[in-house]
Amino acid sequence: MHWQMLAVLYALFLALCIDLSELCSCRWSHPQEKFCNSDFVILARIKQYKISNGTKIYKVRIRKQFKISEKAEVALKSGQLLTPDGSSLCESELSPGKMYVLSGRVVHLKARIDLCGMADRWEYLSKRQKKGLRMMYRHGCVCKISTFMNSRNSCLWPKEKMACYETEGICLPSPSKVCRWAKSAALNNCLHAHDKRLTISRWSG
């Protein structure tokens, strides 16, 4: 009976751990998908923050709106972004004084961000990513980006070359409505450098 009770408690413990780990789990997604799936995507400088009732509230100065829905426009008038505080797995940790590209959703008329959206320092983005934010990502929202299958409606994001496609890749529909990675010198150069490093490592190994 004692061992049965321990087994039950252990099973409950494992279930709790799994629930906690999946509380804010989200699959690794391309910046374009984060853009397309968000209510708002903005460039903002973090001014300050406070913690209230388990929520971290960032006060921001919005410098540019890359994408904004009607409800997001209303929610962002306060200049506030909400995220779970440090005790949560979902928290987005932002540094006051720094400029970020931020994406999120509007929940109960509040603009919210978490680890599933964009929270990237502007100066660390590639030129191609900035171009995507300004004009190109929105044209690819009819496409999906997948790590395991390629189809007319999606672009394959190969795991061994994820970094190149993340920083330089933009998935767009062709005139025949087939989704493809847009050609660019930046993407080609990145893929070439990746293949070169792989060849060198194989020879040295």
CA dihedral 145→147→149→154, nearest 10 degrees, is 10
- In whole angstroms, give the CA distance from residue 145 to residue 125: 19
- Residue 91's nearest CA partner among 120, 77, 112 is 112
Is 171 one of the annotated binding-site residues? no
List, as one string, the DSSP characters of 48-107. Answer: EEEEETTEEEEEEEEEEEEEE-HHHHHHGGG-EEEEE-TTSTT-----TT-EEEEEEEEE
Among candidate residues 39, 124, 25, 24, the one with its CA nearest the CA of residue 83? 24
What residues form the annotated binding site for Zn(2+)? 24
Q: Extract the annotated binding site.
A: 24
